[in-house]
């Protein structure tokens, strides 16, 4: 996990839509403060006021509510020159900018625009293990705003930059991928239970085996090399892998990832 640097002294973060996803972020932002005292304020029914008082804003409401929240009079001024970190799945930066600035289309805004970053974490954020997909960004994003956004995201794990047209596939891989890998663990556990291993122990063993394989790959080993290292020709692992290859599991995984990607794009 990347090391975090302290957020700027006196920095104020507003979270609009503090549900499951944002709560986890908040928990880790506060956790990283250690013994430093950090006042928390709840602003009820006035998102503009919350944005006005903040140095940066996280938007984590339901995707369909984002535009409505940003269209409220005073919001574009409250966000002027600030970082807006959007966690809204499937909502592009262009859509958010249209909501904020459509009225002034063509006109030069009297105050600076905000700097929007689209960032989609996954549920492993709860353990600071999210691989957050960072896609769309406002044009002319200042380095400091981007660095601040990354620093906030480091509180919940690592992040990866992708191009706008890769965002749907990357979200399928990283956000939905958590469900796919958990589903595979479930399948391994069921199979192990059928072989007589007690379920809770099988779950722990399967999960740690997956984490171990992941650790090897994360540390730079090629997954195909890891597979080859475990597989003696004609041996037991080779027998099982042959079943997987024969069942076209790789092709099925590709179809599943594609189906999720298309749904995210739709």
Ligand X SMILES: NC(=O)c1ccc[n+]([C@@H]2O[C@H](COP(=O)([O-])OP(=O)(O)OC[C@H]3O[C@@H](n4cnc5c(N)ncnc54)[C@H](OP(=O)(O)O)[C@@H]3O)[C@@H](O)[C@H]2O)c1
Enumerate binding residues for ligand X (CB under 6 A): 16-22, 47, 60-63, 65, 69, 87-89, 120-121, 123, 175
Residue nearest to ligand X (CB): 19
The CB-of-59 to ligand X minimum distance in angstroms stands at 8
As measured in angstroms, the least distance from the Cβ of 2 to ligand X is 19
- Closer residue to ligand X in complex, CB, 110/266: 266
Nearer residue to ligand X within complex by CB, 7 or 70: 70
Residue pair 58/23 in contact by the 8 Å Cβ criterion: no
Dihedral angle sign, alpha carbons of residues 76, 81, 87, 89: positive
- Closest CB to ligand X among 15 and 206? 15
Comparison of 156 and 189: residue with beta carbon closer to ligand X: 156
Q: Closest distance between ligand X and the C-beta of residue 33, in Å?
A: 22
Burial of 215 (0-12, 13-18, 19+ CB in 10 A): exposed
CB 120 → ligand X: shortest distance, Å?
Answer: 5
- Residue closer to ligand X by CB (options 44, 243) is 44
How many other C-beta atoms can be found within 10 angstroms of the C-beta atom of residue 161? 12
Binding residues for NADPH: 47
Element (H, E) at 135: strand 130-137
Count the Cβ atoms, other than its own, within 10 Å of residue 144: 11
Known binding-site positions: 47
244: Cβ contacts below 8 Å, ≥ 6 apart: 250
How crowded is the C-beta side of 184, counted as CA atoms within 13 Å? 15
Alpha helices, H only, 109-195: 143-153, 167-171, 177-194
Of 85 and 202, the one with the shorter C-beta distance to ligand X is 85
CB of 45 to ligand X, least distance (A): 8
Q: Which residues pair with 160 in a beta bridge?
A: 133
The nearest distance, CB 263 to ligand X, in angstroms, is: 13
Tokens 């269209």, residue located? 71
Task: Give SS3 for 116.
Answer: strand
Pairing, β 13-16 against β 157-161:
unpaired
């Amino acid at each position: 996990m990347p090391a975090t640097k302290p957020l700027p002294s006196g920095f104020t973060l507003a979270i609009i839509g503090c549900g499951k996803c944002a709560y986890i972020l908040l928990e880790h932002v506060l956790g990283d403060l250690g013994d430093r005292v950090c006042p928390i304020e709840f602003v009820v029914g006035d998102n503009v006021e919350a944005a006005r008082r903040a140095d940066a804003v996280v938007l984590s409401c339901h995707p369909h509510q984002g535009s409505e929240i940003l269209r409220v009079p005073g919001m574009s001024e409250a966000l002027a020159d600030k970082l807006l970190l959007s966690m809204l799945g499937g909502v592009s930066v262009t859509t958010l900018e249209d909501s904020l600035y459509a009225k002034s289309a063509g006109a030069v805004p009297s105050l600076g625009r905000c700097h929007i970053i689209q960032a989609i974490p996954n549920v492993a954020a709860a353990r600071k293990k999210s691989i957050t997909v960072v896609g769309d960004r406002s044009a002319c994003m200042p380095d400091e705003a981007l660095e601040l956004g990354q620093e906030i995201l480091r509180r919940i794990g690592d992040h990866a930059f992708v191009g706008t047209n890769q965002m749907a596939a990357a979200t399928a891989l990283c956000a939905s991928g958590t469900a796919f890998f958990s589903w595979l663990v479930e399948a391994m556990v069921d199979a192990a239970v059928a072989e007589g291993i007690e379920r809770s122990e099988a779950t722990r063993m399967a999960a740690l085996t997956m984490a171990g394989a992941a650790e090897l790959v994360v540390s730079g080993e090629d997954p195909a090399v890891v597979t080859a290292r475990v597989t003696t020709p004609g041996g037991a692992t080779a027998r099982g892998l042959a079943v997987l290859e024969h069942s076209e599991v790789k092709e099925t995984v590709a179809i599943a990832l594609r189906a999720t990607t298309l749904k995210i794009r739709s």
